[in-house]
Amino acid sequence: MKSDIAKILLEIQAVSLSADPPFTWASGRKSPIYCDNRLLMSYPSHRRAVSEGFARLIEARGWKPEVIAGTATAGIPHAAWLAQRLELPMIYVRGAAKGHGKQNRIEGRLDKGAKVVLIEDLISTGGSSIEAAQGVIDAGGDLLGVAAIFTYGLDKASGRFSEAKIPCDTLTDFSSLLDAALAMGSLDAQSKRVLASWREDPAAWSVQRGGAG
C-alpha cells in the first residue's frame, strides 16, 4: 500500500521533489520536498484509494472507532470520505476554539468516551497533529490514534508522538516516496541520496543551501 499511495501522490504532484533548486517552506527552511495533499480532492479515483487505505490501516491496527475526526482544514475531506466509507459519525477539530457562539473547538457531536480515530493529511514535526489529538481528548473522546496520508519521517515527529503516548500511522512515507520516484524514473540514484540526506538533519541541510536552520 505504501508504494501505491506514494505513486499516486507523485503522479498528481501532491508531493514534489527537487533538491536543486530546493523549496522554501513558510518557516524559511529549504527543503527538497513540498507536499500539498489537498490536490487529492480533485481526483475521485485517487481519493477513493486513500479512503480505502485508511480503512485498511484502521483494520490492521485493530482500532474500532465509533467516530472519525478530521483536522482542520486538510484532514476534513478525507475524514468525511472515510466516515462515509465506514458508515460512522464524523467530527472535525479546529486549530483553536471559535471566538464566538459556543466557542467550540470540536465541530460535530462527540459523546464522552467515544472511540475516535483522527485523520490528518501530513505529519511534519507532529506538533499540530498532537494538538488536535489533545483537543479530542480534552473534549472527552477516547483517542485510538492518528492516521495520516504522508509523513516526512522526521525523528522530531516520532519523538513527540512517543512522548505524548499517541499512536500514529501513515499510508505512506518519505522512504517509500523516494523508492517510488526512482522506480518511476523521475529520480536518479544520486538525487535520491541527496534527498535522503535531508531527513538525517533537515536544519543543517537547509543552512547549507541558504535557508533557515
Q: Judging by DSSP bridges, how do beta strands 142-151 and 115-123 pair with one another?
A: parallel
d(CA 67, CA 121): 17
| Mean pLDDT calculated for residue range 18-35 | 92
Cell of 193: 541520496
Q: What is residue 144's predicted lDDT score, i.e. its pLDDT?
A: 98
pLDDT in tens, 107-165: 999 999 999 999 999 999 999 999 999 999 999 999 999 999 999 999 999 999 999 99
d(CA 153, CA 157): 7
Q: Judging by DSSP bridges, how do beta strands 115-123 and 67-71 pair with one another?
A: parallel
pLDDT in tens, 41-84: 999 999 999 999 999 999 999 999 999 999 999 999 999 999 99
Q: Please give the share of the chain, as a percent, with pLDDT higher than 90.
A: 90
Residue in the block written with cell 475521485: 44
Q: Return all residues near 165 (Cβ < 8 A) that are at least 6 apart.
A: none
d(CA 33, CA 11): 15
